[in-house]
Amino acid sequence: MDIRIFHKECRTLCDAGYQVVLIAQYGRDEVVDGIAIKAIKTPRNRLERMSLTLGRVYRRAVKEKAVLYHLHDPELLLMGFLLKLKGKKIVYDVHEDYSGAIRSRSWIPFGLRTILSKFMRALEGLASVCFDAIIIATPAIARHFPPDKSHIVQNLPVLNVLHTEPPIPYCARPFQIVYIGCLSALRGAKEMVRAMELLPDDLPAKLVLAGHFSPADLEDDLKKMPGWKKTSFLGWLSQRDIAALLQESRVGLVLFHPIPNHIESQPNKLFEYLSAGVPVIASDFPLWKNLLTEGRCGLVVDPLDPEAIAAAIRRLLENPQDGESMGQRGLQLFRECYNWNNEAWRLLAAYRRILS
């Protein structure tokens, strides 16, 4: 039920008349919203994912006898080459700069990161030559792929999914700060909790986290921090629950650390906050700074500085009229520019070009 894969791309293709089959980790074979889900057993660890699971996916894929295969994970590239040898149309969907991401993966031995990063770049280069199209999530990633095969389909929220009508008035909301998504050290989990500790006790602020921890034991580390007493963790939420959570929140956080894979990324959560009319506090990366300051819909801070984060939170909570104005400008910007409608058109145009 990945947001980009299922709720945006699969549903867009299905609504346009394509017969869509999704092969993914799931509990059972099932048809959901017209999309046939073919279930793959969830692997117990990375080794199983990179070996037995890939074999299961490939066998299910061949059994489908599809006209076109749309791959969403870099470990599926080998499968893509094998399917191409069978004469199939292949699309590789690049969600992030995987070569850059490898250089900051803590579970990969440091001495192997540069080698694996270069190998991934070479593998993606080969895919660019052999495959029929490359779907790319951000303009920054597109620089690494040939323009004649590249189609930028940004990971922007669907209109009217996370904004409820009528919304809860901003000034009637609790002093709630929210973060939705993967919780990791590189995505600012510790700095967020540390910032809560630095807020004055007479400010009834609460940080609400939704998503999952990576690694899982990070949760234990955060619980030892004094700021955890002002924090609650809800786990994974459905889109409906996320919409309700955002409508009860005054601030959304996106405080990724300045590593290569983050600086030019376009995290979905940033646009989700805008789509719900929630002002954003984000890392002071040039791309994010331009969006939030020019649109006057949020604040940017040094993501490694908990005191700066706490000061920005305090500014919005103690000046609700400013926060409400930022939220409304962000919502307008989302409706006019940063939503899935245009991206859906680009996806369908790419499919028509490939299959024509």
Q: What is the mean pLDDT of residues 306-328?
A: 96
Q: Are residues 29 and 111 in the same domain?
A: yes
Q: What is the mean pLDDT of residues 313-335?
A: 95
Residue 228 has φ and ψ, to the nearest 5°, of -65, -25
Q: Are residues 208 and 331 in the same domain?
A: yes
Q: Are residues 276 and 232 in the same domain?
A: yes
- pTM value surpassing 0.85: no
Q: What is the mean pLDDT of residues 6-21?
A: 96
Contact partners, residue 340, CB within 8 Å, separation at least 6: 8, 12, 156, 157, 158, 159
Q: Please report, for the domain that includes residue 343, its CATH number.
A: 3.40.50.2000
Q: Are residues 314 and 257 in the same domain?
A: yes
Tally of domains in the chain: 2
164 confidence band (pLDDT: 50, 70, 90): low
Residue-wise pLDDT tens digits, 267-304: 989 999 999 999 999 999 999 999 999 999 999 999 99
pLDDT reading at 101 higher than 90: no
Q: How far apart are the first and last CA of the chain?
A: 29
346 confidence band (pLDDT: 50, 70, 90): very high
Q: Are residues 119 and 180 in the same domain?
A: no
Q: Are residues 144 and 209 in the same domain?
A: no
Q: Are residues 71 and 206 in the same domain?
A: no
- How high is the pLDDT of residue 112? 84
Domain presence at residue 165: no
The token duo for 50 is 């990179």
- How high is the pLDDT of residue 127? 94
More confident residue, 331 or 48: 331
Q: What is the mean pLDDT of residues 40-49?
A: 82
Domain presence at residue 277: yes
More confident residue, 262 or 194: 194
Q: 113 burial class (0-12, 13-18, 19+ CB within 10 angstroms)?
A: middle
Q: Are residues 319 and 175 in the same domain?
A: yes
Residues of the domain holding 233: 170-336
